Structure 1
Amino acid sequence: MSTPREHIIKSYDDELTRLTGEIVRMGELAVTQLEAAIDVIERRDERAAQRVVINDDAIDHMEQEISHDVVRLLALRAPIAGDLRNVFAALRIAADIERIGDYAANVAKRSIPLSMVAPVTPTRSLGHLAELAAAEVRTVLKAYQERDAEAAYKVWKDDADLDDAYTALFRQLLTYMMEDPRNITPCTHLLFMAKNIERIGDHATNIAENVWFLVHGEPLTKQRVKRDLTSSPDMEPPV
Structure 2
Amino acid sequence: MIRPFDTSLLEVKSTLLNMGEKLEVAINKAVRALANLDADLGREVMLHDSEVDKIEEELDMKVTTLIATQQPVAKDLRKLIAALKIASDMERMADLARNIAETAVKMVESDQKLFKKLEDIPKMARITQKMVHDGINSYIDGNEELAKAMARQDDEVDQMYERIVKELLERMINEQQFTEVSLRLCFVARYLERIADHATNIAEEIVYIETGKRVDLN
Q: Shared fold by TM > 0.5? A: yes
Q: Distance in 2 between matches of 1:146 and 1:101?
A: 23
**C-alpha root-mean-square deviation of aligned residues, in Å?**
1.4
Describe the superposition over 1:155-191 as per-residue Cα deviations: whole angstroms up to 9, x where unpaired. Answer: 0233111101111101111111111111001111111
From 141, 156, 160, the counterpart of 2:151: 156
Q: Distance in 2 between matches of 1:146 and 1:210?
A: 13
From 199, 203, 209, the counterpart of 2:194: 199
Partner of residue 167, structure 2:
172
Q: Distance in 2 between matches of 1:198 and 1:127?
A: 12
TM-score by length of 2: 0.95
Specify the SS of the correspondent of 1:119. Answer: coil
Q: Distance in 1 between matches of 2:48 and 2:188?
A: 18
Question: Runs of 5+ in structure 1 lacking a partner?
Answer: 1-5, 226-239
Kindly indicate whether residue 68 of structure 2 is the aligned counterpart of residue 75 of structure 1. Answer: yes
How many pairs were matched up? 216
Q: After the TM superposition, which of the residue ranges 148-157 and 121-130 deviates more from structure 2?
A: 121-130
Specify the SS of the correspondent of 2:3. Answer: helix
From 80, 87, 97, the counterpart of 1:94: 87
Question: Runs of 5+ in structure 2 lacking a partner?
Answer: none
**Contact 2:165/2:186 (<8 A) preserved:** yes
Q: Distance in 1 between matches of 2:170 and 2:59?
A: 44
Taking every aligned residue pair, what percent have the same amino acid on both sides? 27
Partner of residue 129, structure 2:
134
Specify the SS of the correspondent of 2:115. Answer: coil
Specify the SS of the correspondent of 1:123. Answer: coil
Shift of 1:122: 6.4
Specify the structure having the higher radius of gyration (Cα).
1
Q: Distance in 1 between matches of 2:121 and 2:67?
A: 42
**Contact 1:149/1:211 (<8 A) preserved:** yes
Q: Distance in 1 between matches of 2:146 and 2:85?
A: 19
Structure number with the higher helix fraction is 2
**Contact 1:49/1:112 (<8 A) preserved:** yes
Shift of 1:18: 1.2
Specify the code of the residue in structure 2 equivalent to 1:210: E
| Runs of 4+ displaced beyond 4 Å | none
Partner of residue 59, structure 2:
66
**Contact 1:156/1:209 (<8 A) preserved:** no
